[in-house]
Amino acid sequence: MNGKSSILAAVLAVLCAPGSAAELEVPREILRRAAHVTPTPQQVAWQELEFTCFAHFGVNTFTDREWGDGQEDPKIFNPTDFDADQWASVCKQAGMKLLILTCKHHDGFCLWPSQYTEHSVKNSPWRGGKGDVVREVSEACRRHGVKFGVYLSPWDRHERSYGSDAYNQFYKNQLRELLTNYGEITEVWWDGACGEGPNGKRQVYDWEGYIELVRQLQPKVLIFGQGPDVRWVGNESGLARESEWSVLPLKLGDRTERDLGHQKYLVGAERLTWYPAECDVSIRPGWFYHANQDGQVKSLGQLLEIYYRSVGRNSVLLLNVPPDRRGRFHENDAARLREFRTVLDETFKTNLAAGAKVTAEQTRSGFDPASVTDGDGNTYWTTEEGVVRASLLIDLGRPVSFDRAMVQEMIATGQRVEEFTLEAQVDGQWKEIAKATTIGYKRLLRFPEVTASTVRLTILDSRDCPTIREFGLFKASARERMSAGRGG
């Protein structure tokens, strides 16, 4: 969709591969250094969004294409029943806390009346040439309590200055329009697409200059992709890795993938940074709306699988919902999103471990083990410095049936856990019901239903003393179990 690099995907796959420190012989002092790399407050707030929306809309919607060539007549852009409030309402009902709009895709057509190009809504018949999609969507998001973000393609197949130094200024001018005229922007989304422009040339992007301008205009904004705040997970299937680390080298330099094997990439890194993963995927086969895909909206089961393997693996899920030629989210997409949210709410509404009695074999003074079941995200349990293996015993007080578990680290202090296991005491015997590697912001576990009154969370290895923020047990809703049974 956006020309992302397969090389980046391969490198990240190596960087985030599973394996304990002992197996990889990474010096403990290096792991401790990585353990104390922390996110900014904005990165923590971004992670807490969990589920967000991408809206691909533009001339491609009306040409039935995925990538436009920049030669489109602006007059083809003419949604017949544009309703930004419907977009925001659907997002709100689905639990999507942010909407990112494709303000300009590779075709160069701008969804706002940019003063720097004629290839925009100002030359379309929509709203008599006086319309502004960016304004209407940003204002609708604010009315519905949904945050707003912008995608501005660096590749512009229409702009004749593309491929020259002048284009970098042109691009900055358009960035300035978006970041000064539409209120607070939560995320700026950049891909690395760099094809030929109308003059047959490719562009050398001034990423440092772009980032500097964004920081100047909106200091709290998160920059995705080419920026330092949020990274692409490496695929467009919405799936994170089994071991998804948020701490990575600031620059990979000229190392080979072999040199970066497993967690050894930490060795020799001059500087580490907090660089969490975002998982993008479309609810349909395409990223833009195509009428012949109305019957190909992802099933409930597919969306749930993606959710558990993105949000449930220390990442944020960015689900694309393409508005149709009316300028509305299609009924099929909206209905599926409502169904998806209903099932998630049914499954995760009641934490069966809430308020449970919790004890630990090792606890640092002032960090009560009961913090992990108190529902307060500002409290957490940890061990004394240097203690990297410990267990929490959770007494539920009664037999409880469950088949889902949640564990969260206090990522404000860093990401540390490398491996952990969950056991249940069944008929007087401890039975392992789940085992995983990293936790990070949130780890969701699925396993066959078990009934127990006591469970044990054991941290098998950690880069430094683990910090556990929340623990939960849940039972999947009947509809979720049915969707899994259908294999969808």
Q: Is 24 exposed, middle or buried (0-12, 13-18, 19+ CB in 10 A)?
A: middle
Geometric angle at alpha carbon 373, from 458 and 97, rounded to 5°: 105
Whether 363 contacts 383, CB under 8 Å: yes
Decide if domain 6-347 falls under CATH 3.40.1190.20: no
The residues, any chain, with a CB within 8 Å of residue 81's CB and separated by 6 or more, are 326, 327, 328
The H-or-E segment that residue 332 falls in is: helix 331-348
pLDDT of res. 253? 39
pLDDT of res. 269? 67
Determine the Cα–Cα distance for residues 356 and 366; give it in Å rounded to an integer: 19
Q: In what order do the strands lie in the sheet with 315-320?
A: 222-224, 187-189, 147-152, 98-104, 51-55, 315-320, 277-282, 231-232
Percent of the chain with pLDDT over 90: 80
Determine the Cα–Cα distance for residues 388 and 465; give it in Å rounded to an integer: 5
Structure token digits, residue 482: 């049915």
Determine the Cα–Cα distance for residues 469 and 407; give it in Å rounded to an integer: 8
Determine the Cα–Cα distance for residues 420 and 336; give it in Å rounded to an integer: 34
Among 151, 59, 62, which residue's Cα sits nearest to residue 107?
59
Determine the Cα–Cα distance for residues 407 and 419; give it in Å rounded to an integer: 12
Classify 461 as helix, strand or coil. Answer: strand
Phi, psi for residue 287 in degrees, rounded to 5: -90, -30
What is the average pLDDT value for the chain, to the nearest integer? 91
Per-residue pLDDT band at 306 (split at 50, 70, 90): very high
Structure token digits, residue 472: 């939960």
Quick one: residue 409, left, alpha or beta (phi over 0 = left, psi -120 to 50 = alpha)? beta
Q: How far is CA 137 from CA 133, 148, 421, in A?
A: 6, 8, 44
pLDDT of res. 131? 98
pLDDT in tens, 137-192: 999 999 999 999 999 999 999 999 999 999 999 999 999 999 999 999 999 999 98
pTM: 0.93
In the chain the first and final C-alpha atoms are separated, in Å, by 24
Phi, psi for residue 282 in degrees, rounded to 5: -100, 145
Q: Calculate the CA 69 to chain-centre distance.
A: 29
Q: Which residue has the higher pLDDT, 266 or 222?
A: 222
Decide if pLDDT at 25 tops 70: no
Decide if pLDDT at 251 tops 70: no
The H-or-E segment that residue 352 falls in is: none
What stretches of 182-245 show up as alpha helix (H) in DSSP? Answer: 207-217
DSSP classification of residue 232: E
pLDDT of res. 264? 56
Per-residue pLDDT band at 263 (split at 50, 70, 90): low
pLDDT in tens, 387-407: 999 999 999 999 999 999 999
Per-residue pLDDT band at 195 (split at 50, 70, 90): confident
pLDDT in tens, 444-465: 999 999 999 999 999 999 999 9
The residues, any chain, with a CB within 8 Å of residue 432's CB and separated by 6 or more, are 421, 422, 423
Per-residue pLDDT band at 33 (split at 50, 70, 90): confident
Q: What are the percentages of helix, strand and coil residues in the chain, rounded to 5? A: 30, 25, 45
Q: Which CATH class is domain 357-485?
A: mainly beta
Radius of gyration of the chain (CA): 24
Query: Please, what's the largest Cα pairwise distance for the chain?
Result: 75
Decide if pLDDT at 40 tops 80: yes
pLDDT of res. 265? 61
Per-residue pLDDT band at 194 (split at 50, 70, 90): confident
Determine the Cα–Cα distance for residues 173 and 189; give it in Å rounded to an integer: 16
Structure token digits, residue 36: 């104390």
pLDDT of res. 469? 97
Decide if pLDDT at 17 tops 60: no
Q: How far is CA 233 from CA 37, 242, 357, 394, in A?
A: 20, 12, 37, 34
The residues, any chain, with a CB within 8 Å of residue 1's CB and separated by 6 or more, are 66, 236, 282, 287
Domain limits of the chain? 6-347, 357-485
pLDDT of res. 196? 86
Residue 232 bridge partners (DSSP): 278
Classify 211 as helix, strand or coil. Answer: helix
Q: How far is CA 207 from CA 168, 172, 214, 225, in A?
A: 9, 10, 10, 11
Query: Which of 13-27, 61-75, 267-281, 360-374 is least confident?
Result: 13-27
Whether 30 contacts 268, CB under 8 Å: no
Structure token digits, residue 365: 């003074």
Determine the Cα–Cα distance for residues 432 and 472; give it in Å rounded to an integer: 17
Per-residue pLDDT band at 254 (split at 50, 70, 90): very low
The residues, any chain, with a CB within 8 Å of residue 376's CB and separated by 6 or more, are none
Query: What is the identity of the amino acid at 79?
Result: P
pLDDT in tens, 311-355: 999 999 999 999 999 999 999 999 999 999 999 999 999 999 999
Decide if pLDDT at 6 tops 70: no
Per-residue pLDDT band at 69 (split at 50, 70, 90): very high
Q: Spell out where 5-129 has E strands.
A: 51-55, 98-104
Q: How far is CA 73 from CA 106, 120, 196, 374, in A?
A: 15, 10, 20, 58
Determine the Cα–Cα distance for residues 303 and 279; give it in Å rounded to an integer: 13
pLDDT of res. 3? 47
